Amino acid sequence: MYPLKRGLLHHEHVPRLTKDREAAMNLRVTRGETLRLMSVHAHPDDESSKGAATLAKYAAEGAEVLVVTCTGGERGDVLNPAMDRPGVRERLAEIRRAEMAAAREILGVRQEFLGFVDSGLPGEGEALPDDCFARRPLDEAVGRLVARIRAFRPHVVVSYDQTGGYPHPDHLRTHEVTVAAYEAAGDADRYREAGEPWQPRKLYYHGVLSRAWFQTLHDAMTARGIDSGMAEVLAEFSDDAPVLSITTRVPCAEYFPVRDRALLAHATQIDPHAGFMRHDRAIEREVWPTEDYHLARSLVEVSRPEDDLFAGLRASR
């Protein structure tokens, strides 16, 4: 498993704040105020494969949770053989919106599309489509997300690290847009047309579906004589792949069944017989009962390791 960084984190890699703005900001949630979390993703189904149990947990505990999906997934493949039938590819944009609606109901969260077109995953030497998310001006996408942040006023924002989780152009762009919007949303002089400024307190990167997670589950199942179905996935990780340092592990094993139902709602993308869906859930709960994150920005002092994305923000009792 990943090493957990220990120690205090305070104002590390944070947006520039004037002293007046910082002094005026109440960093903790006030008594009676609802905690709010925004999770920013590239495509429909990403919210269900990356941190879904965390979202379901916080929503069930009373937090407001908003998923922002940057694209409609229009150029995705049909990855479930049972769904690869006449008419599906032609209606993929419509179908994926319906799948997203079903998944958000299962998770108990709100969801909004940012309104960009899927970039697809071009082959080597192929150009990206002119109309796609990854080729739109960065400022345009940042402005749209700043408007969502200022309207929803999240205390915590979650997205991908600089690798995007994997090198899909939309995932890489989602990281760029999220970080830029996090840093701009609290600045009244930027994106003035996007609403009243709001500065989220913390920014996290996903650490789920890591090599360590796959390896740990594979080893635990193999030791019990069970085919993990993960050997092919593990073979795809390069030896020099970057490893995200984990600062925060959120216990959420009781919400793994909710995660799985949300995943299966994306029927064009999730093959229920694929390796990821076949692994033994009881073993997963035993050896890896958390979803993991890296705290990238914080305006509040926290002690690491954390077990709560809202650590340092909850109102004093």
Q: Quick check: 22 pLDDT over 90?
A: no
315 located within any domain? no
The binding site consists of 43, 46, 171
311 located within any domain? no
- pLDDT-derived band at 192, boundaries 50, 70, 90: very high
What one-letter code names the amino acid at 316?
A: S
Q: Quote the crossing angle between the two packed helices 138-152 and 169-184, to the nearest 10°.
A: 60
Number of helices (H) and strands (E) in the chain: give both, helices first: 11, 9
Of 110, 199, 108, which is closest to residue 149 (Cα–Cα)?
199
The model's pTM is 0.91
Q: What is the pLDDT of residues 32-50, one digit of tens each?
A: 899 999 999 999 999 999 9
44 located within any domain? yes
163 located within any domain? yes
Name the one residue in this structure whose structure tokens are 């032609």: 90
92 located within any domain? yes
Check: CB of residue 159 under 8 Å from CB of residue 205: yes
CATH number at residue 222: 3.40.50.10320
* Domain enclosing residue 89, as ranges: 7-26+34-304
Q: What is the pLDDT of residues 116-172, one digit of tens each?
A: 999 998 888 789 999 999 999 999 999 999 999 999 999 999 999 999 888 899 999
236 located within any domain? yes
Domain count, the chain: 1
Q: What is the pLDDT of residues 222-257, one digit of tens each?
A: 999 999 989 888 998 888 888 999 999 999 999 999
The binding site for Zn(2+) consists of 43, 46, 171
309 located within any domain? no
